[in-house]
Each structure stands twice: as structure tokens, then as C-alpha cells.
Amino acid sequence: MQVKDFQWTPGMTVSELVSQYHQVGYQSVELARAADVIIKMKKENAKIYLTFTSNMVTSGLRGFFAQLIKLKMAQVIVTTVGGIEEDIMKSTGETFSVGRFGHDDVELHEQGINRVGNLLIKNESYMNFEDWITPVLDKLYEKQKRWAVSEMLKEIGLMLEDENSLLYQAAKNDIPIFCPAVTDGAFGFHLYLYQQKHPDFIVDVVKDFGNILFSSSYDEKKAVIALGGSISKHHAILCTLLNGGAEYAVYMTTAHKTSGSMSGATTDEAKSWGKVKDDSDVATVIGDVTIMFPLAMIRALEELRKEGLLQDG
């Protein structure tokens, strides 16, 4: 394939834009390839594991994730606990603000404001989350004493009734959300406090590992879309490793392979572990997910819609 000059045309769609990326060069080629791989995994009816870190739920991608769940573009979700908390916060009326990367952070702290990149969250939002989650834990405890994490999150999701909530859409469409590090945040702290009053209240992380492990089989085609790294990415690809490896994988991250980190590990590196099969279709895109992911996914959605392969939940 030859390099081809990029050309703007009036009324250009996102799909047309990304299609031209195939012949521009550098990361644009990987972005276009990522869209192609997403189309293939859906066409081949692979079980798609979508993973993302909580900072992406802090951003406006949260509603896009919910929309993708509704469209059946993923069958398994894996995230970190901040994403759970912030999805609940937004569903219960909390709003986050766009600020600056260069804020005076000491001043923000004095004002009771927390910064995530250039996004701002008030301490008050966490206080309101505490007020909301305590009676919810009472309801869970009354229903049963022991919960696998994904089963607990489904129960919570059914309480939200917010179309833009990923917890609600996942619960409504019977798509499990796994959060292996459920204690790593405010939610975990409240679970701990609740257990001090009710020692027989158990959130079973190990049982949930079994749930994700048996969410697919060795013979089933598997695909991973991993946005960022961390435990959410590894939890999904460990599952695919134990089930023969994924046939399709798209990674998007700002980390680099030279770090030796999970965040920077490429789809090629995953082949050495058997997490991704040797002959799999893969793409690794280096760049900000808030820019890269909507472009690649919208291209995929448009193509799938044209072919009648998009399911509306």
C-alpha cells in the first residue's frame, strides 16, 4: 500500500476520515487498523471484552460506553472501582467540570476540589456518594449476605435507571461488569466500614474470578478492546490466556512498550504469553483514548450499521 495524500472533502464523515488514515502513516494507520479489527471481531461473532480505567469514566466517554453496551458491542466489561463510583455519581446528579492541567493544586485542595488531569471533582460529590451507597448496602445485605462483585454491581445497576449509566445498561442487557480491585477507592472504603458493622457481609473477589474465567470457553472466539492498562486490561487478557488466547485485540494507551508495564504492553508482547493468539488480528494505538477511541469505534459502528450487524438494545 502506498502513502496517499490526505484530502478534505466538504461534509466528510468520521468514517471517511478514518478510512483515509490507512494511507497517511504513523499512528493514523494503526487507528484505521483498530477500526478494521473491531469490525472483524463483531462480524466473526467473537465475545468482546471491553476494558477501561476509571479516568475514562471521569470524562465524557462514560455515556459512550453505556451506548456501546446498549448496542451489544461488548459482552464483558472490566474496569476499576473509580469508574463504578463516578458512574453512580453522575447517575445521581453529580456533575464534573472541565478545568486546566495547570491549576494551582494547593488552591484546589483548599477549595475541596480534586483534579483528574484537566477535570475537576468536588469533595461534595464523594459525600453525596456516601449518602447514596449506605442505604444501598443495607438493601444488598437484606437480600443476601455474600456477593460476587459482578453480581453486586448488577444489582446496583438495576437501581440507577439512567440510560447514560454503564452500570444500568450492563444490568439491563445482562452484561457482567467485573471490578477485581473493588476496594481500591471510596466504594471499597464504604464496603470496609459496612463490614465492620456486619461481619457476615462478604464481597467475594475470588468467586468473581471464576465468573470471568467461565464467561468464555476455549473453543469460543474471543476479542479484547483494552483502553489504557492497569488491572482492568490484565484481568481480561488473563482470562483469554486461560481460555486459549484471543483472536482479536485492540489496545489504546499513552504508555510505551519500553516501560515494561501492563499499560505499555503491546498486542505483540501479549502473543509471547499466549494472551493473544499468534495469528490474531491486532492493533496497538499510542494516543489519548478520548481522541482515538471515538474515531475508531464510530468508523466501526458506521460500517456495521451499513451491513445490518448492529444490534440496538
The whole domain housing 56 covers 46-94+124-289
Task: State how far the alpha carbon of 93 is from the alpha carbons of 125, 132, 160, 166, 224, in Å.
Answer: 9, 11, 11, 15, 32
Look at residue 305 and tell me if it is in a domain. Answer: no
Look at residue 12 and tell me if it is in a domain. Answer: no
Look at residue 279 and tell me if it is in a domain. Answer: yes
Look at residue 245 and tell me if it is in a domain. Answer: yes
275 is catalytic: yes
Look at residue 16 and tell me if it is in a domain. Answer: no
Local confidence band at 200 (pLDDT 50, 70, 90 cut-offs): very high
Amino acid at 232: S
Task: State how far the alpha carbon of 121 is from the alpha carbons of 52, 64, 69, 168, in Å.
Answer: 19, 20, 25, 22
Task: Look over the chain and give the mean of its residue pLDDT values, rounded to a whole number.
Answer: 94
Whole-structure pTM value: 0.94
Cβ atoms of 203 and 182 closer than 8 Å = yes
Residue 136 maps to which CATH number? 3.40.910.10
Look at residue 119 and tell me if it is in a domain. Answer: no
* List 47, 233, 275, 277, catalytic entry: 275
Look at residue 15 and tell me if it is in a domain. Answer: no
Cβ atoms of 208 and 178 closer than 8 Å = yes
Report how many domains make up the chain: 1
Look at residue 180 and tell me if it is in a domain. Answer: yes
Local confidence band at 235 (pLDDT 50, 70, 90 cut-offs): very high
Residue closest to 95 by CA, chosen among 122, 133, 61, 65: 122
Question: Does 313 have pLDDT greater than 60?
Answer: no
Q: What's the whole-number mean pLDDT along residues 231-246?
A: 91
